Structure 1
């Protein structure tokens, strides 16, 4: 058993603990609280009053897909020759020894959702994984987190340059509808064949991948910055009765009332610590998470790494707090809210009994940039210890 004592514990659950104790055993959190009995044979770490919180979670990035300090050789996130590639899986492109994983881990980011970029209308499946390990298969929490789709400028730009569709927002929406309808029919034929003991439809790898969306086994992870693109994404999700997670949501603050009404599965905001590199980012502001949160919506904050390096995730949350988001809610946006957005809150995102022992200890509050990460544990393994 390992004991961490004398910690200022922010659980991201019901109760926080000053001068608290966390007990860890077999890679899991055993107990958390105050005045816990410490077994004589336990390994004890004195947090010295440090700020203890769950390992941080980036709910949308591309780490391992665009590798550190590489050009084409390390760029594996966009198969930009076909606007519809649902059969692609991030797990097959991630390089776990990319230096950026180590930098993220040492900064306290212990879980990430990483996957294809936004060149295609349908890009493939995201994976949720830990940031520590030598083999992707051992790092994965969920290999089928969500199906990436993209609205707005990116698919238009990529395929207009190739003189093919989509070159308009109309075409992007139409292509997505077409393939969702094909997938729906494919699923219906499979179910009918099974029910009537008939021959199943011929195997189609694209349809097999999209069938998980139609069956509501995974959501769409919808790249949408502009308000009209966000509403188009929601419109299509309602048409097909599928779950949707809104990614970027740059102009979400302009339609907070509509988002509250539509209640998407998740809202993941970012990358806000960046320039306005294209027209659809003209309303970029760190006020977005605060406005959405005050409208009663749960928000997660992302880096979109490598757009913003993963290790700056807590800085993004700090800036959202500076612009009006409550401090504890800003912390939740990079812990439990992100975990819930990815359907992994049963394992990560808070300091609670039974969850993975992913723990970060700062020398002081993480939103004070003078403070440092002193300790990182992932799956009960200490990977950084400066106490």
Structure 2
């Protein structure tokens, strides 16, 4: 009997069956069906087989304003059917006793490089930075994702059910990100979160000028800003000409084959196509930025060209501009306590996340690290404790939103996941202890109602095909 399930084995099951107020909306965006139809690399994800399941007896933390002692969560056909007490379950439902444990939504990481900087960390797996030009908006992270990265299963063991995979920060425009469901698959498309909007990775500060300072620039922060503005000017013109010709780009075929527009479309340009998608509100901006003054400048650039920033990433000095971020509904995808490792990260405070939260901002705790993603619950706990030490009144349920509901909003998937509410995807974690305890471990992890990981059952502890090949004896125990 096999001790583990490889990615191929689990993927084979996929075809069997399907069985508080959110942060404000931010600009127009196409619905999931429209995004899917215009994507040349559409998601092929299908939920794994699941059975109706009732989790009862645990403390249910919904991340939507309710904490229910001795609560219940009912999952049916891959969705959350009900949350509360004394729920009526189908006769064939699996009943799990979570007494003494805690139940939360699945953890979501807004900033990961799993798959594009895969393990083992060798040069052959260094596929996250297309460091050949300051502007590589034409590249897509999903085309570098190696689905057999063992980091995915390690993240699953930490309760992570969805994540955004980003290009690196060598470039002003690093390319498109992709949001994945944390499921075993043969392909990146088999992990791709259906209908999730793409992101655009941008980076300001030290990284672009360090990488390109000896290669023709930009070599300064003012050069960075000039590079951003020049690119957006070209993107505005490209978008205007495409829209005038009745062709929005983003699909296969002749760019000039529009739909009754009044002009000839420009030749299709993958770089400008991504930037035009941002200007239309279809692609979300995720901006690597450490210093508060630079975040304020990036907000000004966004205002100049009419787009919105969805999230500042890393944001070591987010606390200095937390009012501006709250005003413009810009989330902060932040570390709990990283700082001081380079000049632009020098002026940090452990209360950064909590201070943004207290100001009414959309606080998120992210990892940017293959180890940190395995314990985002503990990272959030550190940020929570730092805020409480400063006298801030922050509930556990509020802090839970930093790695669930707020993270989902930052990725544009908050209508599907991030809270335990009826109708949402059944991405659920049962924790051994309060998730903010140093003793907490994910006991069971469900994605779309399917049990993907069970700490007590070796047959529900998936390994990637890479690991099975590396340790063949483990696969036949």
Cα distance between partner residues in 1 of 2:454 and 2:362: 33
Deviation at 1:359, TM superposition (A): 0.7
**Structure 1: which 5+ runs fail to align?**
none
Correspondence for 1:125: 176
Deviation at 1:314, TM superposition (A): 1.2
Contact 1:9 1:19 in 2 (8 A): yes
Contact 1:223 1:247 in 2 (8 A): yes
Deviation at 1:386, TM superposition (A): 4.4
Correspondence for 1:355: 424
Deviation at 1:6, TM superposition (A): 1.0
Between 1 and 2, higher relative CO (CA 8 Å, sep ≥ 6) is seen in 2
Is 1:341–2:392 an aligned residue pair?
A: no
Alignment of 1:2-81 (within 5 A): 2-81=53-132
Which residue, out of 274, 283, 287, partners 2:347? 283
Which residue, out of 230, 240, 264, partners 1:178? 230
Cα distance between partner residues in 1 of 2:399 and 2:196: 27
Deviation at 1:211, TM superposition (A): 0.9
Task: Give the 3-state SS of the residue equivalent to 2:387 in structure 1.
Answer: coil
Is 1:140–2:204 an aligned residue pair?
A: no
- Deviation by residue 1:313-333 (Cα, 9 ceiling, x = unmatched): 112100001101623222110
Q: Which has the higher strand share?
A: 1
Cα distance between partner residues in 2 of 1:348 and 1:305: 23
Task: Give the 3-state SS of the residue equivalent to 2:425 in structure 1.
Answer: coil
Task: Give the 3-state SS of the residue equivalent to 1:323 in structure 2.
Answer: helix
Contact 1:218 1:243 in 2 (8 A): no
Deviation at 1:49, TM superposition (A): 2.7
- Cα RMSD over matched residues? 1.6
Correspondence for 1:157: 210
Contact 2:196 2:413 in 1 (8 A): no
Cα distance between partner residues in 1 of 2:72 and 2:361: 32
Cα distance between partner residues in 1 of 2:455 and 2:292: 45
Deviation at 1:62, TM superposition (A): 1.1
Correspondence for 2:265: 200
Correspondence for 1:110: 161
Cα distance between partner residues in 1 of 2:383 and 2:313: 17
Correspondence for 2:441: 372
Cα distance between partner residues in 2 of 1:257 and 1:143: 28
Correspondence for 1:301: 365
Contact 1:335 1:349 in 2 (8 A): yes
Contact 1:31 1:353 in 2 (8 A): yes
Which residue, out of 253, 258, 264, partners 2:319? 253
Return the TM-score normalized by structure 1: 0.95
**Structure 2: which 5+ runs fail to align?**
1-51, 247-259, 389-393, 457-477
Contact 1:22 1:32 in 2 (8 A): yes
Task: Give the 3-state SS of the residue equivalent to 1:377 in structure 2.
Answer: strand
- Deviation by residue 1:45-94 (Cα, 9 ceiling, x = unmatched): 11123100000011112111111122211011101111101111011111
Is 1:226–2:278 an aligned residue pair?
A: no
Cα distance between partner residues in 1 of 2:414 and 2:322: 25
Deviation at 1:240, TM superposition (A): 0.8
- Deviation by residue 1:193-221 (Cα, 9 ceiling, x = unmatched): 33653321122121112110111112221
Cα distance between partner residues in 2 of 1:386 and 1:119: 38
Task: Give the 3-state SS of the residue equivalent to 1:73 in structure 2.
Answer: helix
Is 1:292–2:356 an aligned residue pair?
A: yes
Task: Give the 3-state SS of the residue equivalent to 1:63 in structure 2.
Answer: coil
Distance 1:79 1:44, change over 3 A: same
Distance 1:256 1:382, change over 3 A: same
Cα distance between partner residues in 2 of 1:20 and 1:120: 48
Question: 78-87 or 199-208: which moved more?
Answer: 199-208
- Deviation by residue 1:346-370 (Cα, 9 ceiling, x = unmatched): 1110111111111111111111112
Distance 1:273 1:74, change over 3 A: farther
Cα distance between partner residues in 2 of 1:362 and 1:196: 55
Cα distance between partner residues in 2 of 1:128 and 1:189: 30
Cα distance between partner residues in 2 of 1:110 and 1:335: 10
Return the TM-score normalized by structure 2: 0.77
Cα distance between partner residues in 2 of 1:321 and 1:110: 22
Deviation at 1:39, TM superposition (A): 3.4
